[in-house]
A and B are shown apart, each in its own frame.
Chain A
């Protein structure tokens, strides 16, 4: 029975408009709650290797395999032999860059250890020639980003009474992933600005642009 005339139909306009206002308001409130959860509550943030007292977004990223002059195995060093990250990357706690260990450091052990391995022989050859290997940067931030390892280590490792220096691995893995399971390092976190920002918000890090951009 198609009797078409809008006179018959009457829509509750006032109520509808009120509804719209509520929708707007509810969206806002919902956003508040969601916001609280995302930024300030740790549950729905999956932590990597636990760093006590911190939450950070555990975003995965599959980097490309970057070839290196010497096929250095983090697994053997950091993983199996549990050498502290900062034993080789010794500058991390003193400088903005973590630094590549100087050749002398490698030779410190490898004059005696595993000298028969081909890679080590490569290394030794270089040392004798007095030239350093030309490593390729894996975790390479844009040049307008000034990240400092020093401060982050202080915040998460040295000022963290639940950790001691031997747990450096955990802190490093926040941004570098589980390097101890890799041979040559491979990017396993996005390291985008969003990644940084979320972590800074979750751990009340500074939100001032000039901390990183100058």
Chain B
């Protein structure tokens, strides 16, 4: 009975607080990212590092072709430049004058995530770290969250990859990271900002009775990035590089339209206008005209 009705009388107002407080709880952290698209060379090291860190299954050509691939971090490549030379791509005889545009896309860890409210079993929810968590063992695979993700950044285990002809034939199993659950078939998964690393850092900090330091948590993609185009840190920690970068770009959380006195600043968030409030800030790619 107790867990049936519980303590709704206590702090009713707490429970009914809305988006302006970002939910009812106090955030311990607000992990965020900055990706400089001018430095990003699209070399894919981040993507492979992600496979290595997070026990992501490789699916093989046929399934990849059927778009059942499992990558959490995909480096997209575009050939058009709407902001500099819109017409260029339509000219059959032209050359690819300014190279290609690369865009590393991982889960944007939205603070008003569209995936969270629709999950029937609350397998995806918002953590006090400001992360968009996915609890694999709670997931029943209704796949509503993925349908509702405008970024298409959630991947689903359409098959079972754990058996011998799967993604990890012996002895590849030995490489699997014990800090991460290996997902079974029928489970939704996505980028977690390397939550196992965050947890390790937080536990370490707690053991030493201190706060988590900036740069103490490095995500796999950030750590391996050859040009260091990826920055990761705590947006609540005013000293952190990420916070400073966000401030420099005059981008704030909790808005779907930034009012910046300098419109030429490079910072922007993908699909910000959908009011998903993502935590990943991209810096515009720069090219000579």
Q: Number of B interface residues, CB 8 Å?
A: 30
Interface centre among A32, A35, A154, by most chain B C-beta atoms within 10 angstroms, is: A35
Those of B167-204 within 8 Å (CB) of chain A: 179-182, 192, 195-196, 199, 203
| Contacting residues, chain A, for B6 (C-beta < 8 A) | 31-32, 35
Those of B1-28 within 8 Å (CB) of chain A: 1-9
Complex formed: what's the CA distance from A28 to B1 in Å?
Answer: 9
Interface-located stretch among B38-46, B84-92, B102-110, B126-134: B126-134
**6 sampled A-B residue pairs with Cβ under 8 A:** A28-B9, A143-B182, A151-B206, A208-B127, A208-B133, A209-B125
Q: What would 19 more interface pairs be, CB under 8 Å, given A31-B5, A143-B181, A213-B137?
A: A28-B8, A28-B9, A30-B1, A31-B4, A35-B2, A35-B5, A36-B7, A38-B2, A39-B2, A144-B181, A146-B179, A150-B207, A151-B206, A151-B207, A208-B133, A209-B135, A210-B131, A214-B192, A214-B196
Distance (Å) between the CB of A76 and the closest chain B CB?
Answer: 32
Interface centre among B138, B182, B196, B203, by most chain A C-beta atoms within 10 angstroms, is: B203
Given contacts A210-B131, A213-B137, contact A32 B181 (CB under 8 A): no
Let me know if B199 and A210 touch, CB within 8 A. Answer: yes
In the assembled complex, A108 has its CB within 8 A of some CB on chain B: no
| Contacting residues, chain A, for B196 (C-beta < 8 A) | 214
Let me know if B2 and A34 touch, CB within 8 A. Answer: yes
Let me know if A35 and B7 touch, CB within 8 A. Answer: yes
In the assembled complex, B51 has its CB within 8 A of some CB on chain A: no
Distance (Å) between the CB of A147 and the closest chain B CB?
Answer: 12
Distance (Å) between the CB of A155 and the closest chain B CB?
Answer: 9
Distance (Å) between the CB of B205 and the closest chain A CB?
Answer: 11
In the assembled complex, A148 has its CB within 8 A of some CB on chain B: yes
Complex formed: what's the CA distance from A175 to B28 in Å?
Answer: 28
| Contacting residues, chain A, for B268 (C-beta < 8 A) | none
| Contacting residues, chain A, for B206 (C-beta < 8 A) | 151, 154
Complex formed: what's the CA distance from A39 to B8 in Å?
Answer: 14
Give the bracket for the number of chain A residues in contact with chain B.
20 to 34
Complex formed: what's the CA distance from A86 to B196 in Å?
Answer: 26
Let me know if A32 and B9 touch, CB within 8 A. Answer: yes
Those of A91-144 within 8 Å (CB) of chain B: 142-144
Complex formed: what's the CA distance from A214 to B198 in Å?
Answer: 11
Complex formed: what's the CA distance from A211 to B195 in Å?
Answer: 10
Complex formed: what's the CA distance from A171 to B7 in Å?
Answer: 29
Q: Looking at chain A's contact residues, is the secondary structure mostly helix, strand, loop, or mixed?
A: helix
In the assembled complex, A27 has its CB within 8 A of some CB on chain B: yes
Interface centre among B9, B127, B137, B182, by most chain A C-beta atoms within 10 angstroms, is: B137
Those of A1-51 within 8 Å (CB) of chain B: 27-28, 30-32, 34-39
A residues engaging B (CB < 8 A)? 27-28, 30-32, 34-39, 142-144, 146, 148, 150-151, 154, 208-211, 213-214
Complex formed: what's the CA distance from A213 to B183 in Å?
Answer: 12
Complex formed: what's the CA distance from A34 to B4 in Å?
Answer: 11
Complex formed: what's the CA distance from A209 to B127 in Å?
Answer: 8
Complex formed: what's the CA distance from A40 to B129 in Å?
Answer: 26
Complex formed: what's the CA distance from A27 to B180 in Å?
Answer: 42
Given contacts A209-B125, A213-B136, A214-B199, contact A32 B207 (CB under 8 A): no
| Contacting residues, chain B, for A150 (C-beta < 8 A) | 203, 207
Complex formed: what's the CA distance from A36 to B9 in Å?
Answer: 11
- Per a CB cutoff under 8 Å, which of B5, B125, B138, B199 touches A27? B5
